[in-house]
Structure 1
Amino acid sequence: MHLKLAYRNITAYKKRSIVTLLLTTVTTALLVFMTAWMDGSHSTILSNAVEIYPGYIQITGKGFRDNPSFDNLIFDAQAINDKLGKQAGIAAFGARFETFVLYSVGEKAVGGMLTAIEPEKEAHLSRLADSLIKGEYLQAGDGNQIYIGNELARRLKVDVGDIVTFIGSGADYSFAADNLKIKGIFQTGLFEFDAAAAFLDKSYFDQIMASDNSATHFIVLPEEPEQAEQLAASIGTNLGPDYESASWNQIMAALVKAMQLDSVFGYITLGIIFTVIFFVIMIYTFLAVFARIRELGILRAIGTKPSEIFIMLILESCLLALVSVLLGGLIGASAAWYFEANPIVFASFEEQFKQYGMAVSAIPTAFMPLVILRDMAIMFILSVLSTLYPILKANRMQPVEAMHHV
């Protein structure tokens, strides 16, 4: 009976019901979409940071992370290679040797990073191969052919097939220099990385840099990336005290904390917005309920109990909130799903994105059903709670007082 009365009252006061419905629907849609947008932007930044180059797990010589000098290299890369081959839970792994050199073309000189990689393995460990935009990706045995970032190529004013000269220091601190032919150009989307990085086949790099059987670090791809922390600890135990194994959470601790802090401020902002909306709904409900005071007084006068009136009004609130939340959740979820597949592009803000290390200004949302359901539940609870005070206030009035209310 109470449910029928609640439904009748909703349809009887159409204007009030429609306004309440629209207000809660828009608020729910906004909450769902903004959460998806915030999670999507953070996920994009973190996935770029992890998968484009640094990797989920890095293995280094003891002390290398604190003091990245040639004195703290991995000097027996083959031994590490053999042990990792027997380690459970690893999908792929490979050695790298990073050094910083001076690139030169004609009178133009630019400092940057030159990294030795195992091309076939690296294709599974990072997005370097997938980031090719011109020319070809490296292959084993390519000799002096180099794979270079598009921003670095632009700064040097070179293209595929051009020759770049580099000068640097070998692993034994000897002088090293060579002419390298550009085989391919890549664009990862990390602006600073694309402006400084270039890659060479490790077998050729070892010859000119005196780094045979050495590496600055190994990259490991777990079979289950979410288990990177546990696998890194297991690898560290297996390799012994002369080596350090760290997951991406440790390698990029500053970025992880920055994303967490940004999330906190994001939710604080959303909290302030929805606190305001909560009181707007409450005030509107207060006016709507008090417009019906005479009706409630008549119901009390003919013997309707306060508890029955309370249940009827709460059911009205719950029905409106449920329909609003379902509609708003559907709208917000649809927008989140669409913009996950079709990221929002901010072409006019490309320079601002570069300041954060991103050359690609397309940001997707994150379509996560459980998070969407959580946001819908929050909005349902807030919507019902916002009507609680006006209902209790109106229900405390005596029948005679209510019937004479203007």
Structure 2
Amino acid sequence: MGKYFGTDGFRGEANVNLTVEHAYKVGRFLGWYFGQNHKAQIVIGKDTRRSSYMFEYSLVAGLTASGADVYLLHVTTTPSVSYVVRTENFDCGIMISASHNPFYDNGIKIINGQGQKMEASVEEQIEAYIDGKIPEIPFALKENIGRTVDFSAGRNRYIGYLISIPTRAFKNMRVGLDCANGSASAIAKSVFDALGAKTYVINNEPDGTNINTNCGSTHIEILQEFVKEKQLDVGFAYDGDADRCIAIDDQGNIVDGDIILYVCGKYLKEQGKLNNNTIVTTVMSNLGLYKACDREGISYEKTAVGDKYVCENMMDNGHMLGGEQSGHIIFAHHATTGDGILTSLKIMEAVLEKKLPLSTLASEVKIYPQLLKNVRVFNKQEARENAKVVEIVEQVGKDLGDEGRILVRESGTEPVVRVMVEAATDDICREQVNRVIQVMEREQLIAE
């Protein structure tokens, strides 16, 4: 990861470690970079944070000053920006969002011409420009100065595309939506209404400061209670920019990304549409998912944590379905990035075509208890590679056998090592995690 750009863009607290000056320079560089041989055309979307308007205006100033024409989608989802970029032949797209973070954070996600996250090589050049390590970029002059264009039509075309995907109408289905007071507030209800569902919506009144606040996919208990109270058939919760989805079944149970991968993967296999008979997961997916896939004869691959790595694996190998436990699910036939609303539509397709409630489809996966502890250390690499730590991790793995697993990895953003154990019971998880941490303590690897 770079100095400013992580696996999910340039993110930080607004006007603290992500400032309008940063946004202006990002715009200046991108407008110049894509405009060297033609008039650059770049599309921008934003979520509902108060600071999103500030960053939008700053990006626009930088882009147009470098000669780019800027098309504004206004409040919309990250996957809609990805869709518009790749279907309308834009040079790149920018989404202003910090996803599931609190309202006071924000971020700049850059999407390449194929609708995927921008290549690291371009992000590195942006960072060099921000830090003054490359020559100053010339301003556009006279008729070469860029302009802005209202492009809400692009968002409407994306809504139309979503409506075209389901194989049948949602008539008589009672569906709950938690829009997290974020980007989905502008799109989700209209999609489900158009498909004939009886739609019940909560947390769809953004005020600039309530995005993700006690709502959405990171506070799934809110939708869980709503589904049970209203006796709905299914519920879907999105995050701030609607690129992830967590579902609630008709019994009020949580259906996370792992179970969604199983339900949709099995359905696609039955339809002959699961390319290579393979799903792509991350190393954090639950052991229960793998056991269920083994039973159904579905192959799987594991990547590093991050939907960016899932997407890369899928594109490199031609796989059709992949995602994360957190609800980033990619359906490569329809999209090049995680799309929460699209995911909910594909779950609805499986439910309706199989004529079974989501609780029945999800019950085939036995989710193993999981315990994750973040251990603050002096040096992440030294802690993970310490001979005694390696030895105890191997021993725990042998002791768990086929009924559990251990994963020890370095955090990409914090000075911590993450120790995760899955096992048959919570007590076993706790016991085995503590065995590893005790060795770290004896080896004096843990920072106070």
Q: Indicate whether the TM-score tops 0.5.
A: no
The structure carrying a bigger helix percent of its residues is 1
Q: TM-score range by the shorter chain?
A: under 0.3
TM-score by length of 1: 0.24
Relative CO higher for 1 or 2, CA cutoff 8 Å, sep ≥ 6? 1
